[in-house]
Copies of this chain bind each other. A is one copy, B any other.
Amino acid sequence: MPSALILIADGTEEIEFVTPYDVFTRAGITVRSAGVNLKNKQFAVCSRNVKILPDAPSLDEKLRAEEFDALILPGGAPGAKAFCDSKAVLQLVRDFREKGKLVGCICAGTTALVKSVEDEGGEGNKRVKVTSHPSVKEKIVGKGWDYSEERVVVDEGVVTSRGPGTAMLFALTIVEQLCGKEKREEITGPMICAETL
């Protein structure tokens, strides 16, 4: 059974957090969420005021040592900024990529992926083709990344997407990567997804 770690901070976009969490659970993926520098230790106040309790209040050493198959960074500008400002998050992104594990970023979440890359070579520092929310496109292009305006982009284990309206497509694309096309199709029907996401 694959497993995924989803990060959450104050200001994380709640649809972009909850949709992968929910859809992964439906697919049988073991999901855990962890808070990043939460003001209130117990819960995150998301970008549109929904309050969510992560499974682990912080990204502690024990959690960072656990072996997950995928790492997910939702967007929301202030939430993504918290990821960018956390050395532990940036290190975690590099570590996942170095080990060939899936990293998924949506909306402004892609800025943390971009920030994680250092000039040191290796798989963890490789620039890939990405997308993001249009509002942070220039920032990403300015750092020399190959940019696409597709609703979801998969490149060398990195899955990126654009906003709350693409969260379902993002989540299902990652399910397909981790569990296969059949599992994706199995869970799509009961959720009554649109023909074209």
Contact = CB atoms under 8 A, between A and B. Distances in A.
Contacts of A186: none
Contacts of A19: 15, 164
B25 A18 contact: no
A105 to B, nearest CB: 14
Contact of A53 (B53, B163, B194): B53
Contacts of A13: 22
User: Per DSSP, are chain A's interface residues mostly helix, strand or loop, or mixed?
Assistant: mixed
A50 interface: yes
Interface of A: 13-15, 18-19, 21-23, 25-26, 31, 33, 43, 46-53, 55, 133-135, 151, 162-166, 168-169, 188, 190-197
Given A165-B192, A192-B133, A21 B43 contact: no
Contact of A52 (B47, B51, B163, B169): B51
Copies in the complex: 2
B50 A51 contact: no
B50 A18 contact: yes
B193 A196 contact: no
Contacts of A49: 21, 25, 31
Nearest to A32: B49
Contacts of A163: 190-192
Contact of A14 (B21, B164, B168): B21
Contacts of A133: 192
A165 B193 contact: yes
A166 to B, nearest CB: 5
A48 B51 CA distance: 16
Nearest to A53: B51
B51 A22 contact: no
A18 B21 contact: no
